[in-house]
Structure 1
Amino acid sequence: MENFQGPFDLLLGLISKHKLDITEVSLHKVTDDFIAHIRAHGRDWDLDQASHFLLVAATLLDLKAARLLPSGEVDDEEDLALLEARDLLFARLLQYRAYKEVGKFLTARMAEASRRFPRLVPMEPRFANLLPEVLIGLGPDQFARLAAKVFAPKAPPGVNVEHMYQPKASVREQAEIVVARLRALRRATFEQLTDDAEGTFEIVARFLALLELYRERAVAFEQDEPLSVLTVTWTGADDGEIEVGDDYEGSREPQAGPSGETEEGTDD
């Protein structure tokens, strides 16, 4: 107990000394050791340490009583609070022991590193001269060609996106697919409604179709929490056509611009 710093350090030291489980600690031995610790300091003993020890000793007594008495349902709020305090003490003791072991490990590593010293002098000349001379097998003409190639103007970089082309998806067409599937399944997740979609455009189109169907009160949405699974339930008629607005439909064919050039129509 030479490195006494607080009640938890003292408690862990005493328990480790007796090599017993915390619920098997003999309270009178712990008390005798603490009294011996106080007497060893003479008149310099700390009142705060004694007060903290009394708190820990009372907690230990409560722990032992809880273990020795028959367990059963606890209805008293004060008893529940004592049990919570017991569990909290267990957790803090385990946490403190882990911190203490990590501190010992770091102390050992720091002591080991303190015996190492970096090299502060440069390499000795007799070793530096052992390196062979650098020989470049290029002549003036070859260097000139390399310089001309490096300093020649370069074409501005471009990104070819032809391979990324994908036809636009029709919200109305995707709405027909969604309606047919919901009428058959009655209830489905958004993932099930888009598992056969060919690309991002069709997924977005089916999502917009669901919004239109919700506006027409043909579907209902369920989601337990934000960003969780979205479940769609069919609440519309089992037959007939469902009108989906063309607000999202743009021109599917190129249109002639003012200068005679063609340009793609865009979705609103």
Structure 2
Amino acid sequence: MSRQHIAEPTGDALELAVAGQADSTPDVIDGVGFARLYGEPLFQLPTDLYIPPDALEVFLEAFEGPLDLLLYLIRKQNFNILDIPMAQVTRQYLEYVDQIRVHNLELAAEYLLMAAMLIEIKSRMLLPAKQAEAGEEAQDPRAELVRRLLEYEQMKLAAFELNALPQLGRDFVRTQIYIEQSIVTRWPEVHVADLQAAWADVFKRARLIQHHKISREELSVREHMTGILRRLQSAKFVEFADLFDPSRGAPVLVVNFIALLELAKETLIEITQAEAFAPIYVRLAYSPT
């Protein structure tokens, strides 16, 4: 149920304000006005001053429904909720209902329903109690009302505790920070020792299958560099050992290895590996457009 404020015009205050029009108070007291209007001193009341009847109001206690009002009356006077004095509580409750009927008849309907229930409970308490069956106590007419009041009080306390917890937007705000970050893949660097070990393995296998053949052959480093680049253009990654053909003999392997080093020196290729102790791969150097 929505929270409401019950206002009541005070007749004495209204009469005093109206009577102030004919008051004999001097217009100026020691050079100081008796009131301020929009920050400016007011030395004389206007002759056409009109105060509406509802201008002066007294705000009473605010309640969220009939159970809230009933619980307030019981707790304010320290009544035992398990032994409610129905006559006194009902009289106070009806006094409050008479006040809200003047201002909000629709809202008073909810409170009138509870008032009818209180009157019914009081009338049942005045009647002789019904005889209960053997071994059972007579049921108290206030039992159902007490149960509802206790449940409502528990829910109200739980709501108060939840409201006391920090809430986003009321007690604190969430900080948001935007960071622009570009993700660039960084491959592990190949150490010289790893490159030497890979070359020693290739050279060792070349010696195992080489044939004794005496011949004179002119080998061009630039030609082998061109062959390696052509080989890498057709594949993204090529394993280091696949760039060498052991069947062509050790001299060709040496020249091919020198060509590979020259390409790396001129940053035309990149020698990399996925992780430590992983196979070594060769690829064309990345050049941003």
Shared fold by TM > 0.5? no
TM-score by length of 1: 0.37
Q: Which has the higher contact order (CA 8 A, sep 6+)?
A: 2
